[in-house]
Amino acid sequence: MKKIAYVFPGQGSQYVGMAQDFYNNYSCAKDIFQRANKILKYDIAKLCFEGPIEKLSATEYCQPAILTASIACLAVLDELIKRESVSSVAGHSLGEYSALVAANALDLESALLLVKKRGLFIREASRQYPGTMAAIIGLDAEQVKNICKISSKYGIIQVANYNCPGQIVISGEHKAVDKAIEEAISTGARKTIKLAVSGPFHSSLMQSAKKKLYDELQNYNIKTANLPIYANISAKSITQPSDIKEALTKQITGSVLWEESIENMISAGIRTFIEVGPKRVLSGLISRIDKNVQVLNVNDEQSLKKFVGGICRGIAGKK
């Protein structure tokens, strides 16, 4: 049996209608949304299914929405594959909270309340210290780090995400990011993309959000994970509550080491990655990191049919 891992998407994967197929056709997914509505005290299902996209993309709504949709997808997947068949989990930025739910380190209520607060903390920090993010395509990590160093005379800037070979995201103050884009183009970047985000995520400009999240985490009972979680901040597997709290706190201002995380999971024997949640962003990144691993996704009826037809019986059989 191939070793498999679940991976969970972060902010930017949202779209109007996400997980609606599952809500309409699977009672387990509908139950997740109904529980989320009660926990959040607003209609997250209506926001996910009807939008508007502007509200759905706002950080304070987007984060609980993506987590809810991802866990609804996970509930459907649980009806097909025994969770015991999974060897490890990981999540990209916000997706780390979905991974913690999958590993039973956080219950749904705690995860939703935490990401709701996390979104508010990030929004407040972004208003106090405005900034933006940009993807640099076609340069390696050392080139991008050097570009950030050159551009730092114009303001705070750093690498936010090491996503995959040739795709690195930078974050910082507007002038510094604009200068970095110019430098990247002159260095030979194939493309630069200014991201549609509300702030400079994963940068030191988020320091106030980091402090507030640290304080907030002390109010929650995080349990020992029953699956290794590959943390964004270290790219190493963790299971202990103290390590999880530290990883979640540091992640706010630190870089997401996604490429290294996936490489470490592959080194640990993972040969099949299943992206659980909206869109296929992580599937694309993983395929660029290693073309020899199998990458699947489960986010709607169409993807579920492909999944069942292609691999479900081979992985673990039906319950």
DSSP summary character for residue 222: P
Secondary structure letter of residue 175 according to DSSP: H
In the set 13, 171, 202, 261, the catalytic residue is: 202
Q: Helix (H, G, I), strand (E, B), or coil: what is residue 276?
A: strand
The span from the CA of 8 to the CA of 147, in Å, is: 30
3-state secondary structure of 108: helix
Is 202 annotated in the active site?
yes
Nearest alpha carbon to residue 136 among 163, 99, 173: 163
Task: Quote the CA–CA distance of 266 and 200 in Å, as a whole number.
Answer: 30
- On whether the CB atoms of residues 10 and 98 are closer than 8 A, the answer is no
Residue linked to tokens 């049919």: 305
Q: What is the spatial distance between Cα 314 and Cα 317, in angstroms, rounded to a whole number? A: 6
- Write down the catalytic residue from 93, 151, 237, 261: 93
Instruction: Quote the tokens at residue 286.
Output: 């993983």
Beta pairing class for 294-298 and 270-276: parallel
Query: Strands 191-194 and 132-137, how do they pair?
Result: antiparallel
Which of helix, strand or coil describes residue 182? helix
In angstroms, the Cα distances linking 294 to 121, 274, 310 are 37, 8, 11
Determine whether 93 is an active site residue: yes
**DSSP character for 3?**
E
What are the strands of the beta sheet with 237-238, ordered from one edge? 237-238, 229-230, 86-91, 3-8, 270-276, 294-298
Distance, in Å, from the CA atom of 142 to the CA atom of 160, rounded to the nearest integer, reads 14
- Residues known to be catalytic: 93, 202
